[in-house]
Amino acid sequence: MTDSAARVPLPAGLPADAALPAVVVELGRRFAEAGHELSLVGGPVRDLFLGRGSGDLDFTSDADPDAIERIGAGWADATWDVGRRFGTIGFQKDGWQIEVTTYRAEKYDPSSRKPTVAFGDSLEDDLLRRDFTVNAMALRLPQMDLVDPYGGVRDLAAGVIRTPGTPEDSFSDDPLRMMRAARFAAQLGFEVADEVEEAMAAMHERIGIISAERVREELVKLIGGAHPRRGLDLLVRTGLADVVLPELPALRLETDEHHRHKDVYEHSLTVLEQAMDWERKYSESSPDVVLRLAALLHDVGKPATRRFEPSGAVSFRHHEVVGAKLVRKRMKALKFDNDSTKAVSRLVELHMRFYGYGEQGWTDSAVRRYVHDAGDVLNRLHALTRSDVTTRNRRKAARLEHAYDDLERRIEEISEAEQMAALRPDLDGQQIMALLGIRPGPVVGRAYKHLLEWRIDEGPHEQAEAEAELRRWWAEQPESAEENEG
């Protein structure tokens, strides 16, 4: 941001280095000079007390949208009014995204989350309609008076999520707030007040009226939080997960009396937390939601594949294949983008591929295939596979770690020698068509695939060797025989 921090007197209880962007003070003065109230509200105020920065700035005012727009004219670098019917005018100033909303006192249709907008006439009433007490605080501008009628500072200090009014009224107005409660628990590491959790459990089915896109948005923020286990556990305990992510509570398999298999649900949460540690090494971004989702959901195929063997052992054969299908179906239902869906399901499908490497050893061909099949999720697969080791047996854990270290070393060696990152057949499509005298079509694709498999199995070849292999393959194809007969 180009805007410098404004050093102005702030309410007691804020960190010593807390400061507001200068645009906050400037805008407050403009509204006061125009005879209107303005308050910084919600997340930015909460984050001041938490010592965190906020990317956007939200304000509320007694001014109507037309007045808000007039006050910002000539000051803002840009203005937009797409939220005008909800009382919101947006500004851009010195790199800051600013939204100013007229005091609200909206009501909701019980069958929908869309509000019927009614403008209010007081800051306190506006704060009452907000989701949680920690977001129902405001700073009156430009005097910097803290307005906290519902105990937001108290709940921030105690690390508790509460609603300004009754949670039943709040969640009835907007069921998405139940997901937001879990999200804030995950992001802030807070506990949810007993009455809030009880209301979530009693009303969890109302989340079904919320669009898949909005649910996905909250789930992604939850998964990307610093404490996702807290939020996920809350979703499961209250029944919300039964509606939005039923594969997760399904992992709570009955543990047999002899404990011959792990608690799959707890194991999955542990793998998620361990993946958060590994993502710092293997991922380009943190949080890496794709990796975290794969870690959380890697065993969702186990409930459907669990078998009790005659020996008394428990097996989950092919759970990774079943799990990948379940993940694709759920992520499509939640309207995830195709790339993320493909990446998470691929990781789930491949997460068992490594096991057995330490005992059996792999040929160079098997190592190449591992790299090829992982493709652009290889680094995430490294992180997921390492995270999946939750055994308390230190010897076994050390053995698996050593084996994976060895696999990564071999991948690096073979990649350096053979340029595996761009693994392709020794002949391209044009060369295949020229050599066989054929036109574009399915046969070219089959030939290309054969040469790729041959390349993976045996490594790179000289062009003459590849041409000889292509002729050998072509001689076995029915199209070749038909051509010779003709």
Under 8 Å between Cβ of 293 and 393: no
14-34 per-residue burial string, b: 16 or more CB within 10 A, e: under 16: beeebbbbbbbbbbbebbeee
CATH 1.10.110.30 corresponds to the domain 159-245: yes
User: Are β-strands 96-102 and 5-6 bridged in parallel, bridged antiparallel, or unpaired?
Assistant: unpaired
Q: Using one digit for the tens of pLDDT, what is the confidence trace for 184-200?
A: 999 999 999 999 999 99
Structural domain boundaries in the chain: 1-153, 159-245, 253-422, 429-485
Average pLDDT of span 103-116: 63
Q: Taking all residues of the chain, what is their mean pLDDT, rounded to a whole number? A: 88
pLDDT at 145 (0 to 100):
93
The 10s digit of each residue's pLDDT in 128-150 is 999 999 999 999 999 999 999 99
**Which residue in 325, 352, 331 sits closest to 271, CA to CA?**
352
Residue 132 phi/psi, 5° resolution?
-135, 155
* Residue 235: per-residue pLDDT: 98
Residue 131: which residues within 8 A CB-CB, separation 6 or more?
163, 170, 174, 177, 180, 181
Helix axes 264-282, 378-387, angle to 10 degrees: 140
Condensed to tens digits (0 to 9), the pLDDT of residues 5-64 reads: 666 678 878 887 778 889 999 999 999 999 999 999 999 999 999 988 777 899 999 999
Give the HSE-up count for residue 408: Cα atoms under 13 Å, Cβ half-sphere: 15
Q: Which fold has domain 253-422?
A: Hypothetical protein af1432 (1.10.3210)
Give the pLDDT confidence of 245-284 residue by residue, as tens digits: 999 999 997 554 444 445 899 999 999 999 999 999 998 8
Q: Which CATH superfamily is domain 1-153 in?
A: Beta Polymerase, domain 2 (3.30.460.10)
Query: Which residue blocks in 224-318 are alpha helix, DSSP H?
Result: 228-238, 240-244, 264-282, 289-297, 302-305
